[in-house]
Each structure stands twice: as C-alpha cells, then as structure tokens.
Amino acid sequence: MEEKLLLLIKLQECDSQLVKLSAKKKKLPEDIEKLDKEFLSFKEEIEKNKIKYNELKSRHTESENKIKRFNEGIVKTKERLLEVKNNKEYQAMLKEIETAEKSRSDVETEIISILEELDKFSVLVKKDEETLNQSRNKYEQEKKTIENDLNSIDADISEWEKKRIELSKNIDEDILAKYEKIKKRNKGVGVISVWKSVCNGCHMNIPPQLYNELQKSNQLLSCPNCDRIIYFQDMEKHN
C-alpha cells in the first residue's frame, strides 16, 4: 500500500481513538455519579430499621423518665398525706396516688413492649450493618476502578495527540485538508476500508471498475457514495 495512504490510515486511528477517549472522559464521571446515587439510596433504604431502632430507644428513655416522675410524685403525695387532717382531702390524695400508680403501671407495660421491639430491631440492625458494609466495599472498589480509568485517560489522550502531530507532519497539506473536510462531514471518519466491494463506512457497493482500480491503483480514491477516502483491505487475511 502506498505510503500516504498508510499515513492517513494511521491518522484515522489516532482520531478514532481520540473520539473514543473523549467520549469515555465524559461518560466516566456520569458512571461515578450513578454509582454514588445507587449506593446512597441503598444506604437510606437499609438504614430505615436503624432509624426505627433509635426511635424506640428514645421512646424507652422517655418512658423511663415518666416512671421517674410518677415515682417522685407518688413519694411527695405520700409525704403530704401524713400532714393532712381533713378526711376529704385525704381521700382525694389517695385517689391521686391511685391514679398515678395506674398510669405508672401503664407506662411499665409499654416499656415491656418497647424492650421486646428493641430486641427484634437490634438483630435486624446488626444484620443490616453487615449488608451495608459489604455493599460499601463493593461500591468503593467499583468507584476506585472508574477513578483510576479516568485518571489514565488524560495521559492516553496526550499520547494519541502526540502521535497525531508526528503523523500529520509527514502528510501533504492538501491531502490532510481533504481528509479533515471529509472526516468532518462523515461522523469523524475520513478514511475507510473496502472489502468485497462494500464500503465499510456507508455499507454501499463500490462499482466493479472502481473496486478493481482500488486493488491496484496508487491514487487516493473516494467512495462515490459517502466520499470517504477508501482503501482495499482483505478482511479474511487480517482477522
């Protein structure tokens, strides 16, 4: 194959790689964002039991405080009871004590059921924490892999750009300009292979005469349909 065509093919490879890399550079941060979101919503979901557990705990503390207040009230009323001389007042205080003791007993019953719930939820919370840890490890590993990928992209890009500049130096200006023009019009592909009479850019058939010429000629030829610079490539030999 002719030298100028070989150079164009190599240039095309650089450009295609650069397109791929810049697409990747755009996509990877989106992947990271998606991963973050997924983990966060998983975490929120799995921490629902913990929130319930904490609610139960504060309800437990509240109830214990209520008991304390009832006890203090009962003690005070009993002290006052000793100083009362009026029978009506005495009866009222006894009633007050009775009511307080009944309320205290209700709260004690409530505490028992809270403690049972707490037991149940503490088992769930422990399990959830293990699940969350596993999922966090997986998430952090995946994120690290993407971040490493992302970090190496800039180096890859500048390597292909360097290669591109070196190649461009050896390509005639008019050929380069033609390539750029065609490339711009054809989704970033200015040079393409032809095999079995089919242009691999537009997938149309090349006329037989042109196909023959392509296999022998040293001229830069173009696909009559998509205008890309074409070259013959034996796909069976290459693959």
Residues 6 or more apart whose CB falls under 8 angstroms from that of 156 comprise 17, 21
The verdict on 131 binding Zn ion (CB under 5 A) reads no
Cα(211)–Cα(214) distance, rounded to whole angstroms? 5
Examine residue 198 and tell whether it contacts Zn ion (CB under 5 A).
no
Given candidates 201, 210, 214, 232, which one binds Zn ion under the rule CB under 5 A?
A: 201
Q: What are phi and psi of 225, to 5 degrees?
A: -90, -55
Applying CB under 5 A, which part among 12-20, 69-77, 151-159, 199-207 lies near Zn ion? 199-207
Which one of residues 7, 125, 189, 199 is an interface residue with Zn ion (CB under 5 A)?
199
Residue written as tokens 């990877």? 28
Q: Does 226 bind Zn ion (CB under 5 A)?
A: yes
* Nearer Cβ to Zn ion (62/227): 227
Q: Quick one: which of 28, 46, 97, 202 contacts Zn ion (CB under 5 A)? A: 202
Report phi then psi at 193, rounded to 5.
-85, 155
Return the range that interacts with Zn ion (CB under 5 A); candidates 151-159, 168-176, 177-185, 191-199.
191-199
**H or E stretch covering 14:** helix 3-46
Interaction of residue 223 with Zn ion, rule CB under 5 A: yes
Interface with Zn ion, residue 190, by CB under 5 A: no
- Minimum distance from residue 226 beta carbon to Zn ion (Å): 3
Q: How many CB atoms lie within 10 A of CB 207?
A: 10
| Percent helix, percent strand, percent coil in the chain, to nearest 5 | 80, 5, 15
Q: How many CA atoms lie within 13 A of 57 on its CB side?
A: 9
Q: Which is nearer to Zn ion, 168 or 205 (CB)?
A: 205
Place of tokens 């380069």: 176
Residue 111 or 229 having the CB closest to Zn ion: 229
Binding site for Zn ion (CB under 5 A): 199, 201-202, 223, 225-226
